[in-house]
Structure 1
Amino acid sequence: MSGWHPSHQSRWFAVLCGERLCAKPVAVSLLDRPYVLARDGAGRAFALEDRCPHRHAPLSQGTCRDGGLACPYHGWRFDAEGRLREIPGLPAGGALPQVRVRSAAVREHDGLIWLRADGRDEGELPAMVRRNPPGSRRFLWQTQWRAHVVDAIENFLDPLHTHWIHPGLVRRGGARQPTTARFAPSAEGFAVDYIGQAQQSGLLYRLFESPRESERALFDAPGSAQIEYRYRNGGAVRISLHFAPHDAATTSVFATLHVENRWAPAWLVRALVWPLLKRVNDQDARMLALQSDNLRRFGAVRGASTQLDLVRPWVEAFWRDGAPPADAAAKDVALML
């Protein structure tokens, strides 16, 4: 799958952890278009196309000055809306040319900077982002996977690879249990409830969890996915990944961990949980890179699927057509998980 449906220009994507945007501009890329992020005089983030209209130098190599962004080549300065405000060397009273840099809409929420490419500050961020209570975040991290965004999303939401790619860490192949996956699609995503697995067989569960009340995988289009565990003692843990494609071969991934009603201080998560989650990430990233390389070797080929591949058709159709598949329907699927 290549190219991007026009509707994705009007959707919000996470593009940077907010703590990474300080005094210097930062280059990011979304849907094959380069942007520069910077902060204005009040500390608000803004985004411009990463190209000065004068001689096309990258603005991300420039400097933040007087609430705007100055080009590294001749110092042309643009404000947060992309309007030209200054040309060094222009005589007093000289008229500025009517040029500007294309801007994108930006929002900052719960540690992440979100970008909407069409420049319109409209619509809501994904529902799963807005649902997290203030103060519940314990962890925030960003990385990059060498994979198409559809393959990246499917990897995170697919539990059946975990016995093979993360053996003993997430699940053990010899400890599979009968499970029902209840798939429920909607106009903007889907939920998959895994019924019949109150415990998980891997090390992560044994070290950090307790008997579960429910396990749910969620997808909010276009690129936000979450695995939510609710526990019998009233607690909840939500692992969320937000995906933003640089291009057809590379995807930025932003990971958050939110915890409710469980003792899990941030320092403990960083010291004990993070090293294991990082190992899971590295194992997934390696397999996705192998998959991506092999797809390039063999060209445009379709993969074989079974009833166990619940999430791929919905995600693939949305990224291809900008809408859910017309035949999406709720269903229960039996599997050994």
Structure 2
Amino acid sequence: MTTWHASHYARWFPALCTDRLGHKPVAVTVLDRPIVLGRARDGRLFALEDRCPHRHAPLSAGTFTESGIACPYHGWRFDADGRLCEIPGMPADCPLPQVRVRNIAVREHDGLIWLRLDGRDEGALPRMLSENSPGSRRFLWQTQWQAHIVDAIENFLDPLHTHWIHPGLVRSGGERQPMTARFEPDDAGFKVIYRDQPRQSGLLYRLFESPRESEQAIFDAPGSAQIEYRYVNGGIVRISLHFTPQTRDITSVFASLHVENRWAPAWLVRRVVWPLLKRVNDQDARMLAMQSANLQRFPGVRGASTQLDLVRPWVETFWTTGEAPADAQAHEVRILL
């Protein structure tokens, strides 16, 4: 198993889209830890370590009870906090053993189930979640990339690969224009503000967008990233990706699109916009899988970087040390994008 920095177990990560949790328990993995998610018959949402303490059967193969879950092997019953409630076949006058299943803190917000592995239900979810107006979400989607979380985050926030990986869709390779990118770190993460490019050369812009007033990329530690476009006509589009490490080489990705102040019904977005965004995702996933496989062929190597690699140093330092880089400072670079 991968050893993650201890501080990451005290942070919130999304684990599942709420609509994927039905009448059966669901197994997920966060930071290499197997977890079972469920909703007891009384409606309470719970997250527990996916292991019965009796004979170590996976609780995700069990069934819901009124207050929790029953193990599929011998039927031991646990409540939503992991306390042992009943052992089938045990006489009523016999005390239950003092065992329990490790409890994971769990919250629901805007269609996602969030977990905190140390079991403490405290601390805030990523701040960007509060920026979205009620009813502005147009879709929510869950997938996984074969990539380390640092590589996954960098891919989403890096505009320079788009000419090569998404030619014609996001940008056209032969139409680069000079622009300024300003990197601004803060206590919770950073933002990158892009100036001097109100239009984009790809098909997605030509079909669905209009002149932009501003463009910025936002990162909230530990793994929430967002690209926000504000338009001259008052519209706002936010594409958010939340990244959760399953293992060192597999990262869960939760993508959402929020739209404000412009006509974009959910049915139209799903029918027309989503197929193109899905193609962008598949292209990124394919490249990240190639990158991950090649890193396994060359273990221990470090990548070369230039001033154009704005986000990598901050993200890599955070995931290695558990803290933001102490020397991170605001600065600007000129790029051809």
TM range (shorter): over 0.9
How much has 1:44 moved relative to structure 2?
A: 2.9
Q: Which residue of 2 aligns with 1:132?
A: 132
Q: Which residue of 2 aligns with 1:43?
A: 43
Counterpart contact for 2:157–2:311, Cα < 8 Å? yes
2:22 is equivalent to residue 14 of structure 1: no
- 1:1-337 equivalences under 5 Å are 3-337=3-337
* Shift >2 Å, 4+ stretches: 40-44
Q: Deviations over 1:68-104 (max 9, x none)?
A: 1000100001001000001111112221111000011
Cα distance in 2 for partners of 1:73, 1:114 equals 28
Aligned length: 336
Using the size of structure 1 for normalisation, the TM-score is 0.99
How much has 1:15 moved relative to structure 2?
A: 0.5
Q: Deviations over 1:187-225 (max 9, x none)?
A: 210000000010010000001001000000000000000
Using the size of structure 2 for normalisation, the TM-score is 0.99
Counterpart contact for 2:42–2:66, Cα < 8 Å? no
Give the percent of matched residue pairs that are identical in Structure 1 and Structure 2.
75
What is the CA RMSD across the aligned residues, in angstroms?
0.7
Structure 2 segments unaligned to the other structure (5+ residues): none
Q: Deviations over 1:204-250 (max 9, x none)?
A: 00010010000000000000000000000111000000000001000
How much has 1:43 moved relative to structure 2?
A: 2.2
Cα distance in 2 for partners of 1:270, 1:107 equals 27
Cα distance in 1 for partners of 2:3, 2:269 equals 38
How much has 1:327 moved relative to structure 2?
A: 1.0
How much has 1:67 moved relative to structure 2?
A: 2.0
Q: Which moved more, 1:129-138 or 1:281-290?
A: 129-138
Counterpart contact for 2:44–2:67, Cα < 8 Å? no
Counterpart contact for 1:3–1:248, Cα < 8 Å? no
How much has 1:60 moved relative to structure 2?
A: 0.4
Cα distance in 2 for partners of 1:132, 1:236 equals 10
Cα distance in 1 for partners of 2:130, 2:40 equals 25
